Amino acid sequence: RKYFKNSPRVRRVTNIVYSVINQEYTGDINIIPRYRFFDPRKLLTELTPDELQFFIAEGERATWPKIEMIRASTTISRKLAEILAAYEAEEINRLSTKSHHHLGAELPRNHLRA
């Protein structure tokens, strides 16, 4: 018992497991199946084909009502990313132009000629 209490490896694994279990699993769109599967013994075993099919069907049933919300959210996200990229490009261009003007002003006139 003492060995496990003082073992850094066991403490690290325990902390990781504790963090995963206590993590908040919510987001902008939450897809939560009706069936709550929590049998710790089954988590580390291979599912049977019937169990796997059952969980896939439950996931699909929980997802379909949210499809339009997902579509709208991803459309908005893509548009915002596009706007941000354009803004960043404009800002880089503005700073680059400002920097070139600034450098040009500091150079003696004979250095500006090719």
Q: Which two tokens stand for residue 22?
A: 């206590």
Assess whether pLDDT exceeds 80 at residue 90.
yes
CA distances from 78 to 11, 16, 71, 73 (A): 42, 33, 11, 9
Print burial letters for 46-78: b (CB count within 10 Å at least 16), e (below 16): eeeeeeeeeeeebeeeeeeeeeeeeeeeeeeee
**Band (82; pLDDT cuts 50, 70, 90):** very high
Assess whether pLDDT exceeds 50 at residue 114.
no
- What's at 4, amino acid-wise? F
- What's at 106, amino acid-wise? E
Phi/psi for 11 (5° steps) reads -60, -40
- What's at 81, amino acid-wise? A
Assess whether pLDDT exceeds 60 at residue 1.
no
Higher-confidence position of 80 and 3? 80
Convert the pLDDT of each residue in 20-59 to its tens digit. Answer: 778 777 788 888 888 776 677 777 788 899 988 998 999 9
* Residues 6+ away with beta carbon under 8 Å from 4: 10
